[in-house]
Chain A
Amino acid sequence: MSDIKTSVNLCGVELKNPVMVASGTFGSGEEYSEFVDLNRLGAVVTKGVANIPWPGNPTPRVAEVYGGMLNAVGLQNPGIDVFCNRDIPFLKNYDTKIIVNVCGKSTSDYLEVVERLADEPVDMLEINISCPNVKEGGIAFGQDPKLVEQITSDIKKIAKQPVIMKLSPNVTDITEMARAAEAGGADCLSLINTLTGMKIDIDRRTFVLANKTGGMSGPAIHPIAVRMVYQTAQAVKLPLIGMGGIATAEDAIEMILAGATAVSVGTANFVDPRTTIKVVEGIEAYMRKYGVKDINELVGAVHER
């Protein structure tokens, strides 16, 4: 095993490998722990958590589309108190890094959660300013560079852990948002969240999703995510976590070559609950095949130096 180095350093946090899960597709790991040894993951990124419980959207909340899916779960979550008492202790049983995804309707909601997490044993915070499925907060913060910079700097003032800002692809120029987050003091960026989509039931002549629109994810969006990671890697100096349609080790390596230091597996968890482990093993196999001693050699390797 020691012939290759798969560990990566994400703003001071050492991950045993670059493979993590995308927020919202893996709960807090409990449901998947029956299929996946969580000790083998670089990090677990939790489902978004707010200051208080959120009931989420009406059903139907998901729809399948060609090569992907739409979701409009609406960030149903138990609130930070239950999360701290139940989910963090569960994850502490494993030798993996804990990244807590934070959501809110207002700046003060986000700050309340970030403050509450200050003394908790979590490794990083991922700030969700890009959820397309809630009316207030979420994406509203992620589509205006001034707001991105402002909320990033507000959070950075009180956060005790490194802060990842999660960016939306539903913008004209994602690098503008990336630069704004960097200017606000972000430690790291993750991208991309889902792309807003819609599916219509032609028999019922109405929307499939109760929310009408939903976030599209899955293999069909992977090339868009790779392009956005590539562009963002050229625009900012921050480390990037790449996600969007990663279903195989090959997809993950593409993302790393485009400039991501780490990658998240999302929708593919639904297709095969063991996808994360297959990606971890596939990356190792790729490194051996090509004689790559250190995975960091691959990060951003397609960029002209």
Chain B
Amino acid sequence: MATKFEEMAVVVSQKEIATDIYDLTIQTKDIAANAKAGQFISLYCNDGTKLLPRPISLCGIDREAGTLRLVYRVTGEKTGTEQFSKCKAGDEIRVLGPLGNGFELGDKKAFLIGGGIGIPPMLQLAKELNCEKTAVLGYRNELFLLEDFEAVCDTMIATEDGSAGTKGNVIDAIKANGAKADVIYACGPTPMLRALKAYAEENDMECYVSMEERMACGIGACLACVCKTKEKDHHTNVNNKRICKEGPVFNAKEVEL
């Protein structure tokens, strides 16, 4: 049975929710019904100069309506993400997914930690986790998706400039709030994931991180997006797991960060 679907998705709505951060909802035929939190999809550009799919995480999944919510950052002028940001309701975007493993849902008291553009995938996880949970969101300065998180779980924030929440990073926010949990789910920049891995080890917590790397195929064939792992990987037996296939979510103990 097919687990991945290539389709022409139709844009339902799109708006800019913060500087260069876009909130896009697309109608899919099969992808949404088969997707889980922590997975991603590939979006293809519509001109021949930009060949490679753009991997974008799933911020929201409505399996009944068949829609996916994607919150992504436009990375510059004339980029693929800029092209997507100009799409309006009714426009089509070719997509492939769902891709990657996604988060395993547990029942232990959880921190859902997102940094920057790593925040969006934590929202769908927050909706699906049926346990005691707190979202910890790290921003540079401009906030986005905050109300969405507040609607589904306890939320604390950190900003680099201290303009909202705790001044500093996500670990500073956890410490400032005296919060405790048994498990961390996290997505964000590598330095944040590295710090969380260390924090989890010091505090004897489980820690699952969603990783990112430049990809080409998105389905495990090209071996571009590997990360260094403790265990031998299934494909090559050389401690190189494929982020697009065995990941993007890994037990932090398992990966070098």
Q: Is A bound to B?
A: yes
Centre residue among B50, B53, B216 by max chain A CB count within 10 A? B216
Chain A residues in 8 Å Cβ range of B219: 31-32, 34, 273
Tell me whether A31 and B221 are in contact in the complex, defined as CB-CB below 8 angstroms, given that A67-B49, A218-B51, A273-B96 are known contacts.
yes
- Chain A CB within 8 A of B26 CB: no
Contact A55 B239 (CB under 8 A): yes
Contact A66 B49 (CB under 8 A): yes
Contact A76 B238 (CB under 8 A): yes
Which residue of chain B is the closest to A59 with respect to CB atoms? B213
Contact with B along A291-304 (1 / 0, CB 8 A): 00000000000000
Contact with B along A30-59 (1 / 0, CB 8 A): 011011000000000001000001111001
Chain A residues in 8 Å Cβ range of B96: 273
The interface size bin for chain B is 20 to 34
Partner of B222, one of A53, A73, A78: A73
Contact B237 A53 (CB under 8 A): yes
Contact B236 A77 (CB under 8 A): yes
Chain A residues in 8 Å Cβ range of B6: 35, 272-274
Chain B residues numbered 180-235 whose CB sits less than 8 Å from any CB in chain A? 213-227, 235
Question: Chain A nearest CB: distance from B251 CB in Å?
Answer: 19
Interface of chain B, main secondary structure: loop
Contact B217 A269 (CB under 8 A): yes
Chain B residues in 8 Å Cβ range of A61: 214, 223-226
Partner of B2, one of A34, A78, A82, A271: A34
- Chain B CB within 8 A of A121 CB: no
Tell me whether A55 and B240 are in contact in the complex, defined as CB-CB below 8 angstroms, given that A34-B2, A73-B223 are known contacts.
yes
Chain B residues in 8 Å Cβ range of A31: 217, 219-221, 245
Question: Chain A nearest CB: distance from B140 CB in Å?
Answer: 16
- Chain A CB within 8 A of B4 CB: yes
- Chain A CB within 8 A of B22 CB: no
Question: Chain A nearest CB: distance from B213 CB in Å?
Answer: 5
Question: Chain A nearest CB: distance from B42 CB in Å?
Answer: 9
Chain A residues numbered 250-270 whose CB sits less than 8 Å from any CB in chain B? 267, 269-270
Tell me whether A64 and B224 are in contact in the complex, defined as CB-CB below 8 angstroms, given that A69-B216, A71-B216, A273-B6 are known contacts.
no
Chain B residues in 8 Å Cβ range of A59: 213-214, 224-227
- Chain B CB within 8 A of A242 CB: no
Partner of A63, one of B4, B53, B214: B214
- Chain A CB within 8 A of B52 CB: yes
Tell me whether A71 and B237 are in contact in the complex, defined as CB-CB below 8 angstroms, given that A34-B3, A59-B214, A218-B51 are known contacts.
no
Tell me whether A76 and B236 are in contact in the complex, defined as CB-CB below 8 angstroms, given that A56-B223, A59-B225, A270-B222 are known contacts.
yes
Question: Chain B nearest CB: distance from A200 CB in Å?
Answer: 15
Interface of chain A, main secondary structure: loop
Complex CA gap A247/B48 in Å reads 10
Complex CA gap A27/B240 in Å reads 15
- Chain B CB within 8 A of A60 CB: yes
- Chain A CB within 8 A of B44 CB: yes
Chain A residues in 8 Å Cβ range of B221: 25-27, 31-32, 269
Contact A53 B217 (CB under 8 A): no
Centre residue among B44, B220, B224 by max chain A CB count within 10 A? B224
Complex CA gap A271/B80 in Å reads 13
Tell me whether A76 and B223 are in contact in the complex, defined as CB-CB below 8 angstroms, given that A59-B214, A62-B214, A62-B216 are known contacts.
yes
Complex CA gap A273/B5 in Å reads 11
Complex CA gap A267/B215 in Å reads 13
Complex CA gap A247/B47 in Å reads 13
Which residue of chain A is the closest to B52 with respect to CB atoms? A64
Which residue of chain A is the closest to B218 with respect to CB atoms? A270
- Chain B CB within 8 A of A223 CB: no
Chain A residues numbered 73-87 whose CB sits less than 8 Å from any CB in chain B? 73, 76-79, 82
Contact A34 B52 (CB under 8 A): no
Contact B237 A82 (CB under 8 A): yes
Question: Chain A nearest CB: distance from B160 CB in Å?
Answer: 18
Chain B residues in 8 Å Cβ range of A56: 223, 226, 236, 238, 240
Centre residue among A25, A59, A270 by max chain B CB count within 10 A? A270
- Chain B CB within 8 A of A68 CB: yes
Question: Chain A nearest CB: distance from B223 CB in Å?
Answer: 5
Question: Chain B nearest CB: distance from A196 CB in Å?
Answer: 17
Contact A62 B49 (CB under 8 A): no
Contact B224 A271 (CB under 8 A): no
- Chain B CB within 8 A of A282 CB: no
Q: Can you list 20 residue pairs at the A/B interface with Cβ under 8 Å? A: A25-B221, A31-B217, A31-B219, A53-B237, A55-B239, A59-B214, A60-B213, A62-B222, A64-B51, A67-B48, A67-B51, A68-B51, A69-B51, A71-B224, A219-B48, A219-B51, A267-B51, A270-B52, A271-B51, A273-B217
Closest 3 CB pairs of A and B: A31-B221, A27-B221, A62-B224
